[in-house]
Each structure stands twice: as C-alpha cells, then as structure tokens.
Structure 1
Amino acid sequence: MIPAAFDYVRPTDLETALTSLADGGEDAKVLAGGQSLIPMLRLRLAAPAMLVDVGGIGELRGVRDDGDALVIGAMTTHDDVMTNAMVREHAPMIAQATAVVADRQVRHLGTFGGSLAHADPAADLPGVALALDATFSIMGPGGAREVPASEFFVDYLTTALRPSELLMSVRVPKLPGWRVHYEKFSQMAQSWGVVGVAAAVRRSNGTVAEARVALTNMGPSPVRARAVEAAVAGAPATVEAMTEAAGRATDGTNPLSDGTASADYRRHLATVLTRRSLVAAAG
C-alpha cells in the first residue's frame, strides 16, 4: 500500500529538529531508522501529517563512557550497539538482546532509541532496559528531563514521550559483580519473540544477594517480575532455588492470546524462560 500524504523534513541539528516537532505538534512523527514506522505508514496504521527525519543529527549517535554508566545515543544502530566494545564489557545483556533483533539488514538500519520509543510489547530492548534500570534522556520545548525505564513504558506502543519531545539517549548503569542473561522464544529465526526474559543476578557467598527480572510480551508493556525477584533474593544459587523462584514469573502479568500464541502458552513460556535466564545469570 501507499502511505497517506505527509510533509517531510530532515534537519541537521537538534534545535531545528525540536522546532520542526513543535511546529507539527501531535501530527508530527519522528523518523529514526524507519524499520517499524515505515511498515506502519504503508499499512496506514499511522498517518502523521509530518515526518521529522533525525538521521542527519550526528550528536544522537554513538556510545560514551560516563563513569558508572554508559550513555547510548538514540540514533545508534543496533549493529553499532551490538559490536561496541564498551557495551559488550559493561552492558552485555544489551549486546545479547540486540544480536537477536530481527535480521542483519534491520540491525544495520534500525536504531536503539527507535526500538525503545516504538515500545512494541514483543520487542527485545524494552524489557532489557527495564531490568537494567536504564534512564531515558528526553528533550522538548520545556527543556531536558530524565525518565526512568520503570516510568517510560506506559502502555501498548505508548511511552512517556510527549508530543514535540525527542529521545536523546539512554543511560545504562554499569553493574560490576552482576551476571546477566537474555532469553527469548521465537517461532522462527529473526521474528518477534513470543516471550522474552531479561535477568540480572548479583551473587554473594553462594547465594543470590539481589536479582532483577523483566518479561516481554506478557502484557501491553514490559513487566518487572517482582515476585520472582523477591523469591530469589537470599536464596542459594542453585538450579532448584532458581526453578522454584521462576514459578512466580506470571504473577501480575496479563498476556494476550493472539494468532501466535495463547495466553496460557505465554505463561508456560514465561516460567520456562525465567528459569533458564536465572540459572544462566546465577552461574
């Protein structure tokens, strides 16, 4: 299909981009890598009056070390994130998850920030950002603001981004002493995950001192598995303890039934994948 008519601007600096978004208001849409937006335009599931292409703004790209955290520019491609040495060392779960985003062509065009801002419940990166307690740096007419991942994902395809605001970067804390693992189940290679689980575990003297677990596609937005985190805290770092804690994975979730899987099957997968992720992360 052919998209509905729209105006197109490609600013080369941040100030012009923000002005264009403000001029377009609620009828403007940011175009990053386009791997999610362009198919929606072609199917007329989205019909913005203006597209603001931010692909020419260099300051939105790249990864930098910020002491106790990494800062990843919103326009950094998946491939650049996945292969970045600092990401692989200090945020390996992001590298793991990015490596299974779609296919190679999409990873070379799609962007880290674009995937997060799109907020598809089946996407890999929102759950990882939630498990890592990432913070989103946003710029708009009212100035800059910081939004924690726990408040960024609001509902299905909905985030805390307001009209005329732009996601600038994502700050990911380094987790020295933690082990992480991302696990997802797909019906076929390079497809959306039926369910995904991001787990981070900090061990101390043979027990789990602290854990973070986030689930994807178990509701309209990523979910922290708080019951699992509480069950595993203080438990011995054994397969048996991780298996018992994983039994709480579906607490507080609201998975949908669709053409891919039933809600019951997603609950089963969440339990299985949580166990696998916890066992791997706990070492």
Structure 2
Amino acid sequence: MQRAERVVVLALDGVHPFELGIPSRIFGAADDRYEVLTCSVDGRPVRTNADFTIAVEHGPEVLATADTVVVAAIAPPHITAELPAEVLAALAHIRPETRVVSVCTGAFVLAAAGFLDGRKATTHWQLAEDFRRMFPHIALDPDVLFVDDGRVLSSAGAASGVDVCLHVVRKDHGSELANKVARRCVVPPWRDGGQAQYIERPVPQSSAAGTAATREWALERLGEPLALADLAGHAGMSRRTFARRFGEEVGMSPGRWLIQQRVTRARHLLESTDLPVDQIAGEVGFATGASLRQHLHAAIGVSPQAYRRTFQAAR
C-alpha cells in the first residue's frame, strides 16, 4: 500500500469557506490516496469572509511536511501586493519540491510570495485587471478555468477549485480514480482547463431547446465520425443555431468539445487496457494513431506510449 500523499491547505484571514473546503472534499474522496490537513499562519482560528470563524488544528510548520500545498481563496479586501510578515514566514516553510496550488484569489498570495515568477497563472476574471496592475511580470490568462504550469497550478473562481483538484487526482492516479471521485462528489468529472471561465448562458431558459441531450448522444458514439451537421440534426436545429447555442452552454465549439472527449476516452483506455494505439484511436473516433498522438500531445504534452508507461508503473 503506497503512502498517502499529504495535502496541506493554508487558510488566511478573509478565507472563503466554500473554497477552503474543496481540497478536503475532493482529495478526501480519493480512496485514501491523500491525507488532507488545514493550517493557519499561527495555528489560531481564522476569520472567514462569512459570519463565522474557523478553528484549525495545525500551525504553519505542517507546510514543511506537505507534498501539495493549497492556498485557499481570500476576499478582495484582504488582497495586498505585499504580504504580511507572518504570511511570508508561513509560506517559507514550503519545500522547493512541493507542488503548490491556488484557488481563485489565492493566486494573489502566490504571486506576492514569488511562486508565480516566470510562470503562467490565472485567477477570477473579475480581478484580472487588479492582478495585472499588481503583478505585471506574471503571464495572466483570465479566460481559463485553471493553469497547470508544472509544480505550480492556479485556478479561477470558486468551483474551478474543484476542477483543479480533480486535475491533480487525474495526474497522480489516472482518470478512473478521478472519475470515481467526481461521481462521489456529484460534480462533472472533467472540465478542460482551457474552457472559458465565463459562459454566456450556462443554464438555458426552460423554454429553449438545449444541447445536453445531443452531448450525451455524441458521447455514446465517439467512435463514429460526427460532423456538425450530425449533431445539429440530432438536436433538431440548424448548424448555425446549434453551434451558437453549444458555445453559450459549454463555452467552446462542438469540434473542440468532441476532441476533448475523445482525448479523455483515449486516456482512460491507455491507462486501463493494453490495446494498441491505433486500435484505441479507432475506438475513440480519431482516424489514425498519428491523429491520436497529435491531439494527446497537444492536450498533455506526452505521447501515448509515455502516458501508458506512467500509469502502468503507478499500477
């Protein structure tokens, strides 16, 4: 039985309770693969941005024992370009090899502490201009749900903390466990990090036809050639109307969504089977193994063989 990886969540004054609880909820549902601890800069209770205070069990010294540190979101009035001395002292406990994740405005804390120097990052889209003004040397992308820049990851507002934590589980232990965690927490198992933060109409009006049923239909037929006309025809819409409504509901084009779903299915097959790459390509709807290699490399930066070796070794 492998050692549980330790995740330490840092709660700062003004913390959002919802975002603070995300790591414990997601990593805690991962079949004992993670141990989640919560700390403050001094081990004392932390005032939230709600009408209550949270008592924590640990002080900053526990950060030195973490495999992953998560900095939870804080309310905007608590954001500063220069961190208080006690926050800097707490963050100094983090070892150089530790993975660091921010949720929402936690990116401001990482930026002020130097963790984001020379890296890409994201934060809540409403605070993008504040971030750029305070940290002009950091490459900010406010249009995505999360950014994975190797050892340091950052996510956008609120629920995107769920996405980045599931992404970490997927990176560490594969899509089968990540999907199981998502089912247990009743959340979508996969939202692409590059998906738009702000979707024009995430919940369609009840009187309007949506694309959800067609997406489910397409997921059952990923191995078949699916054109925009096929999707629109199933939804009973013109291609133009379907593409517009799809973008409003999902935040990306139907073509990009299909590629994302095919890559996700291919990753699961690479992890869980010994099928040849060309056969997997056919199973998920890519014309050739070369096409699968191209799209997988674009999505996660590795070849199918390298990806499979990683998870075979983990098993």
**Does the pair score TM above 0.5?**
no
TM-score normalised by length of structure 1: 0.31
Larger radius of gyration: 2
The structure in which a higher percent of residues are strand is 1
The structure in which a higher percent of residues are helix is 2
TM-score normalised by length of structure 2: 0.29
